[in-house]
Amino acid sequence: MVLLAPPTTNYDREEEFKVELRSVIITRSKEGATIEEIIGTGKGDHHLTTISGTLMLMCALVLFFIVPLHADDYRELTGTDLMDLFYNRTVLARYLSMIDNVWCSTDGSCGTLLWFCSTPRTKHMVHLIQQQRSPRAGRSNYRRYMPRGPLAAPVVRQDHQSSRLTGGTGMGSTLAMHGTYREAAQVQEPARPSQSSRFQSKRPSRVERYNPYSRRITGRTGGTGWRQSRSDELDYSMYGPSYHRHQLVGDDFFLAIAKWELGFSFDQGHTIDMSGLCISGLTLSEAAKRVEVAPFIADHVLVNVGTVDLLHGRAMIDLIHDFDQLVARFRERNVEPIMTTLAPIANSGGRTPMAERLLKMNEYICRTCPRTIDLWKHFVHANGTVRFECYQPGPRKVSGSIMPHVLWNKLGRQLLLGVLGNEIAAQLTTDEQWRYY
């Protein structure tokens, strides 16, 4: 599909270049655009194959009549290779982050950056693209309509009752002639409210069922995941969850703090629960990779990572190596992070090898990092036993790891927030730590 663009004699070339990049990113708004897809070397599926020509025409008109808008990359759009204009992909990523109304998010456990764009002129187009259904989504699945129990007794009972009420309209004979479930479903579909409804046990849909872990918090904006930051928080669109202007980096424990106590929502469009750099199943090595490629890192960062490595049985020497790599990535960004010690793992009680490795890891953290917060001592009794009253009753599965986690409960999360607040205040009033602020 080709659209003729009007002459742009007085058009600023740099602004036109930004518009072209926005158009490429917007066409991939459903799942986000990677750097490779923007450049033109990606092998991803085309997300707009189901968008009609009228929709593409509208999007092109909204984007100031630029060159033909196609569900492809910049090279196919303009015939120019972005690598001829930028030194490397890191420079391109930094340039994209400086474009107005363009932001990025991470996907999955591999740390891939996905780029999104939404301007006041095109937000309705982005919404339409995001609402496009996959070609496979229209196919019906017989399991969706599979009955959960025997249908013979309630269906016949309903039809006998209906035949009495309607004077015998033939619904019972229809069920007698057609024994398949499809025929029965077609007869049940146009049922009208009547006295026969009292014989049916209406089962709520899966979406409406009560789930204690799917609490809804009102007052948040949907769509792209933007959130209005409070005065004691950093810009959420840049840094993700923060506490007293300290960026949070952690696994499921910090993710639960950000979600349930601080009110931050999960980033949309990911198979793994995440909010900024608080990611389910985050390991030390993965945290180092994400810190390296993150477009923004705050001056003050609270880090709690390493529990997942212990749950997966990593050797002590590997833990130390990955931890040093994580601290080095922060220092390459001119940031001295506040590293927290690891809280006891409620899955492992007593003097187990996992508990011993945890204690050695905490000793290494306190010995090598100038800025630390000891969380471990607040989750144990005076005799060293775990304070199980601060943990949930049992392990549960998390989206980012195959190992079950026993996370903090409400008491434990509130205890942690109090400890973090007191330690941050103590560092602000200590001469030795003041130099970092």
- Both tokens of 283, joined, read 């390991």
**Sequence-distant contacts of 430-435: CB under 8 A, at least 24 apart:** 433/371
Is 189 contained in some domain? no
The reply to whether the predicted model has a pTM over 0.75 is no
Is 258 contained in some domain? yes
Q: Return phi, psi of residue 288, to 5°.
A: -65, -40
Q: Which of 104, 129, 154 is the last residue of a domain?
A: 129
Is 2 contained in some domain? no
396 and 278 within one domain: yes
Return the CATH number at 359. 3.40.50.1110
Closest CA to 299 of 437, 94, 98: 437
288 and 417 within one domain: yes
d(CA 378, CA 387): 9
427 and 307 within one domain: yes
Report the Cα–Cα distance between both ends of the chain, in Å, rounded: 56
Q: Which of 87, 114, 129 is the last residue of a domain?
A: 129
d(CA 237, CA 101): 11
- What is residue 51's predicted lDDT score, i.e. its pLDDT? 39
Is 346 contained in some domain? yes
Is 40 contained in some domain? no
- Structurally, how many domains does the chain consist of? 2
Is 123 contained in some domain? yes
- What is residue 401's predicted lDDT score, i.e. its pLDDT? 94
d(CA 346, CA 393): 10
Range of the domain at 381: 236-434
Would you call 105 helix, strand, or coil by DSSP? strand
Instruction: Determine which helix (DSSP H) or strand (DSSP E) holds 115, and give its type and residue range.
Output: strand 112-117
420 and 280 within one domain: yes
397 and 277 within one domain: yes
Kindly list the distances between the CA atom of residue 170 and the CA atoms of 151, 159, 180, 187, 364, in Å, as whole numbers in the listed order.
Answer: 19, 9, 17, 11, 80
Crossing angle for the helix pair 316-332 and 353-368, to the nearest 10 degrees: 30
d(CA 20, CA 85): 14
Number of residues assigned to the chain: 437
Q: Which of 89, 107, 129 is the last residue of a domain?
A: 129
Is 155 contained in some domain? no
pLDDT tens digits in sequence order for the chain, 437 residues long: 444 444 544 457 788 888 888 888 887 776 777 877 777 654 444 443 333 344 444 444 444 333 333 334 666 667 677 777 777 778 777 788 778 777 777 664 455 677 778 777 777 776 777 666 654 444 444 444 444 444 444 444 444 444 443 444 444 444 344 444 444 444 444 445 545 445 555 555 555 555 544 444 444 444 334 445 566 789 999 999 999 999 999 999 999 999 999 999 999 999 999 999 999 999 999 999 999 999 999 999 999 999 999 999 999 999 999 999 999 999 999 999 999 999 999 987 677 899 999 999 999 999 999 999 999 999 999 998 999 999 999 999 999 999 999 999 999 999 999 999 999 999 888 877 777 77
Is 36 contained in some domain? no
- Both tokens of 102, joined, read 């363009």
